Chain A
Amino acid sequence: GAVVSQHPSRVICKSGTSVKIECRSLDFQATTMFWYRQFPKQSLMLMATSNEGSKATYEQGVEKDKFLINHASLTLSTLTVTSAHPEDSSFYICSAIEYQETQYFGPGTRLLVL
């Protein structure tokens, strides 16, 4: 199957700093990528849809200025958590759509804001 990488896998930062998470499709081109947030023992919550070459589409309740998304190429999307606070601590997962509408996921990034 298609491979999606995500970096870093884990990050600890101080409150007020910004954190960038990268999502790459390694063996396919992805015009659309998704960013999710997952709380413990819960389902995935879609944050935004990232489209190559255009602005991301954010879900209701997700702050655009807080969670900056850039999809600069067909293989890379980045999520920047700006001025992170402890309530932003979570597990963030990206995904990309490949052949036949199938979504493949990155391994996730665990963010802890102190």
Chain B
Amino acid sequence: AQTVTQSQPEMSVQEAETVTLSCTYDTSESDYYLFWYKQPPSRQMILVIRQEAYKQQNATENRFSVNFQKAAKSFSLKISDSQLGDAAMYFCAYRISNTGNQFYFGTGTSLTVIP
């Protein structure tokens, strides 16, 4: 079974500091995609970053970067220079490539940014 685990229900970070959100997943597939989505209080799900499993290079998107460890099945999100607008629920998600099947979501991490 495909599962995604986010072991940190809540995290906090001081404004301008760096925080890392953890995510692990369980799969027997070799070709898949990983995502981090952000859900602010408006509840609109926003794509933060994506990673193809076949790529060894870690994805980056401005202040957001990932540490993808395929052998360990780990996909953590690093937020640098945290801003107040980064406060949100963050969901890690996984999807098998080219199957048309569902995404598997973690339970989420609530991030608080302290001014």
B10 → A minimal CB distance (Å): 10
Contact call A49/B47, Cβ cutoff below 8 A? no
Report the interface size for chain A: residues with CB under 8 A from the other chain: 22
CA distance A104 to B110 in the complex (A): 21
Q: 1/0 per residue A57-83: CB within 8 Å of B?
A: 000000000000000000000000000
Near A by CB (< 8 A), chain B positions 26-84 give 33, 35, 37, 42-47, 50, 52
Q: Is the CB of A93 within 8 A of B45?
A: yes
Asked if A112 is at the interface of the complex by the 8 Å CB criterion, the answer is no
Known A32-B100, A101-B95; contact A95-B35, beta-carbon cutoff 8 A: no
Among B33, B44, B45, B52: residue with most chain A CB under 10 A: B45
Q: How many Å lie between the Cα of A34 and that of B47 in the bound state?
A: 16
